C-alpha cells in the first residue's frame, strides 16, 4: 500500500507533513515547528506518531519537538545539535520507516546542518528550506557554492519525484522567477496556475521535480536564455546561481 500523506499549515507560511503507512500503522512527521498544529493534525488523522524527522535547527522547524516527542514517545531523527533529537544523522546515512529506506542527504546552504530526506521507492522527498517550489532557501549560514552543490544532489531525483518543502513561498518565487526567466512558457503557465491556487486559498506544495527543473530559476543556472539575460554566457553554473540568489535577496 502506498504511504498516505497529510500536509498541514502552521505559523506564517510553514507546512508540516505526516506520513503514514496503513499496514504497519507507523507515522512520521517531518519537522516539529508547532506542537499545537501537530496535535491537531494527529487528532484529525487519528494516526499515532512513531517518528519525527528534523531538517534543520531553525525554530519554525523545531519549537514543538520536545513537547510532541514527550507526548507521543516518537523516535526522533535529525542533525547534531538540535535539542530533542535522539538519533543524529549526517549525509549518506539511511534509516527505515515502515519497511522503506529513507536516504539522508546533507544539503547545507540555508543552514550548515540542513538534512533532506528521500524515499526513492516512493518517489518522495522532503527538502526542508533547501528547495522550494520555484525557489530555494536564503543563505543564512552557507554560501552560494555550497547551496549550488546541495541543489545538485536534489537534481539527481527522477522527474516524477514528489517534493514537499517547508514554506508556502511559491507566489513570490514565481514573480521573481519571471524576472530572470521571462520567456519561459512553462514558467508563465505555472505562475498563472499558482496565482489561481492562492486566490482559492489552496496550497501550491507539494511540487514535482520535473516541474522544478522546467521552472525553478535556481535549478536553471545552465539555461542559455537565463545566462544571456544576466550577461553571464561564459560564467560557471555556480557563478550564475550565485547571481540569481543575490538578485532574489534584493527583489
Query: Which residues form the interface with Fe ion (CB under 5 A)?
Result: 60, 129
Least CB distance to Zn ion at residue 150 (A): 14
> How many chain residues are in contact with Zn ion, going by CB under 5 A?
2
State the Cα–Cα distance between residues 181 and 129, nearest whole angstrom.
Answer: 22
Residue closer to Zn ion by CB (options 20, 58) is 58
State the Cα–Cα distance between residues 1 and 187, nearest whole angstrom.
Answer: 34
Least CB distance to Zn ion at residue 31 (A): 9
Residue closer to Zn ion by CB (options 51, 55) is 55
State the Cα–Cα distance between residues 166 and 62, nearest whole angstrom.
Answer: 12
Least CB distance to Fe ion at residue 11 (A): 9
**DSSP conformation letters of 137-195:** ---SSS-HHHHHHHHHHHTTS-TT-EEE-SB--HHHHHHHHHHHSTT-HHHHHHHHHHH
Q: Which stretch binds Zn ion (CB under 5 A): 11-19, 68-76, 77-85, 123-131?
A: 123-131
> Which residues, in sequence order, are CB contacts of 193 under 8 Å at separation 6+?
none
Least CB distance to Zn ion at residue 236 (A): 27
Grid cell locating 193: 496556475
- Does 57 interact with Zn ion (rule: CB under 5 A)? no
The binding track of 58-77 with respect to Zn ion, each residue x by CB under 5 A or -, is x-------------------
CA-closest candidate to residue 93, choices 108, 76, 78? 78
State the Cα–Cα distance between residues 144 and 72, nearest whole angstrom.
Answer: 38
Residue closer to Fe ion by CB (options 60, 113) is 60
- Does 129 interact with Zn ion (rule: CB under 5 A)? yes
Q: Which does 212 bind (CB under 5 to 8 A by kind): Fe ion, Zn ion, none?
A: none
Instruction: Return residues touching Zn ion (CB under 5 A).
Output: 58, 129
Amino acid at each position: 500500500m502506498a504511504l498516505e500523506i497529510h500536509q498541514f499549515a502552521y505559523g506564517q507560511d510553514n507546512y508540516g507533513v505526516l506520513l503514514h503507512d496503513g499496514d504497519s500503522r507507523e507515522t512520521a512527521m517531518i519537522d516539529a515547528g508547532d506542537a499545537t498544529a501537530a496535535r491537531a493534525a494527529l487528532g484529525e488523522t487519528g494516526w499515532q506518531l512513531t517518528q519525527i524527522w528534523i531538517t534543520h535547527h531553525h525554530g519554525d522547524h523545531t519549537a514543538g519537538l520536545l513537547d510532541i516527542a514527550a507526548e507521543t514517545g516518537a523516535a526522533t531523527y535529525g542533525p547534531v545539535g538540535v535539542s530533542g533529537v535522539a538519533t543524529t544523522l549526517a549525509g549518506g546515512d539511511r534509516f527505515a520507516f515502515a519497511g522503506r529506506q529513507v536516504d539522508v542527504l546533507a544539503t547545507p546552504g540555508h543552514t550548515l546542518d540542513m538534512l533532506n530526506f528521500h524515499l526513492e521507492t516512493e518517489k518522495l522527498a522532503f527538502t526542508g528550506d533547501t528547495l522550494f517550489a520555484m525557489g530555494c532557501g536564503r543563505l543564512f549560514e552557507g554560501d552560494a557554492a555550497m547551496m549550488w552543490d546541495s541543489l545538485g544532489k536534489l537534481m539527481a531525483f527522477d522527474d516524477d519525484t514528489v517534493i514537499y518543502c517547508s514554506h508556502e513561498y511559491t507566489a513570490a518565487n514565481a514573480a521573481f522567477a519571471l524576472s530572470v526567466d521571462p520567456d519561459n512558457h512553462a514558467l508563465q503557465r505555472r505562475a498563472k496556475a499558482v496565482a489561481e491556487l492562492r486566490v482559492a486559498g489552496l496550497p501550491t506544495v507539494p511540487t514535482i521535480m520535473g516541474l522544478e527543473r522546467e521552472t525553478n530559476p535556481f535549478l536553471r543556472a545552465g539555461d542559455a536564455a537565463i545566462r544571456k539575460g544576466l550577461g553571464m554566457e561564459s560564467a560557471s553554473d555556480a557563478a550564475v546561481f550565485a547571481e540569481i540568489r543575490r538578485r532574489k535577496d534584493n527583489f
